[in-house]
Structures are given as C-alpha cells and as structure tokens.
Amino acid sequence: MGLRDFMDAVMGRSRLPKAKSEKLFAISTASITLESSLGLKPSGYAGICFKPIGATSYESARNEIEELLEYSSKETETEFRMEKDEFDFLWAIFRDPDFEDLVANIHLVSQTLEDRGFGEQILCAIYRFDSEPEAGTAGHGTKTGAGKAVYWIYNFKQGTYYPFIPLSNRQRDSPFEFRLRTAMEREMPVEKSVEKWYPLWGIPF
C-alpha cells in the first residue's frame, strides 16, 4: 500500500473529515520514553504529506508554506525541502537534531493549511526514529533490533498515531510494532484498530 491507497483507505469516497492536529504534540513527550526505554533515537527527520491541490491554489499554498518555513527555519535552524512524489502528493520534509523543532514545524504547516481551508487535504505527519546499536529491550525482554528505521505516523483524520517498521521486500516488523503499541499507548493516542495501521512504502526520508 502506498500513499494513494492510504488516501483511499482513510478517506473513502465520502466527504473528507477535518484534520485533527490537537493531538499532534503527544509525540514530544513520548519521544523521551521511546529513547530512554526502547532505544529508539529521533533520527532528526520528519515530514508532512498532503494530497494534490488545484494548480492555482496549490501554488499559492506552497508559496505561503515556503515563506513561513523560511522564516521559521531562521529561528529554529531547521532545514527543509518541499517535493512531490510520483503520485503528485506534496511533502514538506524537515531535518533538525532538536525534536521539539521538528514537531513545531510540522504543526506550523498543518495549521497553515487548515487556516487556508486546506485542512481536508492533509494526509499524515511522519517522524522517523532509529534503533540504536545494541539497543535495549522492547517489552518481554525482546531485543528491538539495531539499525531499523521506526516510523511513527500521525493520521490527521483519526487524530491517532501508529508505528510502521518497514523491512525488505515490502514486509513489516509487525511483532515489534505490536510491542511498541503496548509500551506507548498510555503516553500517546495510538490507533486501536490495527486495520488502520496503513503501511506507507517509499517514505522519502
């Protein structure tokens, strides 16, 4: 399943629900537990993705986002880039060693889109964590496995997070994902329905 499948699964053909950004900040405090207890260190990368917008509105929204990010990046020293993927979904991708700055910039973009009436276009925000070498245990004494990219995906339509750990050949580490849910569901709004843990292959960071 890619972004187009994700969009169809989340939104269907009915009227799109409004984006829910108020629970976005839960990842800030959760990141402390993820690193200290689970050996998952913020990679310094995060991104937000939204579906294509009409050409004129798209250019206007993109220009405003870029202007805001130019200003914001001067304050936080956050690097960013805007890019389209093969399905014309637009990504704003951030790089910053300060995790709080990443969260703040993600919220800035989502709030800008909502204020301009594009809240229904927002698909998801994604934070990448990396398992450290010789990482600690993740529940029941099981090794997390060094070197894996662990993504926490925020579904704006549901207002919930879920873990996604891609492996080779479009496989995912479901056992580890389930352990993360058990470990973190008291600290952040984890999606309860596993059927909504949509895999996003080809995340560009």
Long-range contacts of 59-68 (CB under 8 A, 24+ apart): 60/116, 61/112, 61/113, 61/116, 61/118, 62/90, 64/112, 64/116, 65/92, 65/109, 65/112, 65/113, 68/108, 68/109, 68/112
Give the pLDDT of residue 130.
96
Give the pLDDT of residue 121.
82
Residue 136 lies in a domain: no
Residue 131 bridge partners (DSSP): 40
Residue 137 lies in a domain: no
Give the pLDDT of residue 33.
95
Give the pLDDT of residue 10.
47
Residue 109 lies in a domain: yes
Residue 104 lies in a domain: yes
**Domain holding 181: CATH number?**
3.30.70.1130
Residue 102 lies in a domain: yes
Low-confidence ranges of the chain (pLDDT < 70): 1-22, 52-55, 58, 133-147
Residue 200 lies in a domain: no
Rounded Cα–Cα distance for residues 76 and 71 (Å): 9
Question: In Å, what is the CA distance from 76 to each residue of 21, 72, 98?
Answer: 21, 6, 9
Residue with tokens 């995340």: 203
Give the pLDDT of residue 7.
45
Give the pLDDT of residue 128.
98
Domain count of the fold of the chain: 1
Handedness of CA 34, 40, 45, 46 (dihedral sign): negative
Residue 47 lies in a domain: yes
Give the pLDDT of residue 146.
56
Question: Domain range spanning residue 176?
Answer: 16-131+144-194
Residue 138 lies in a domain: no
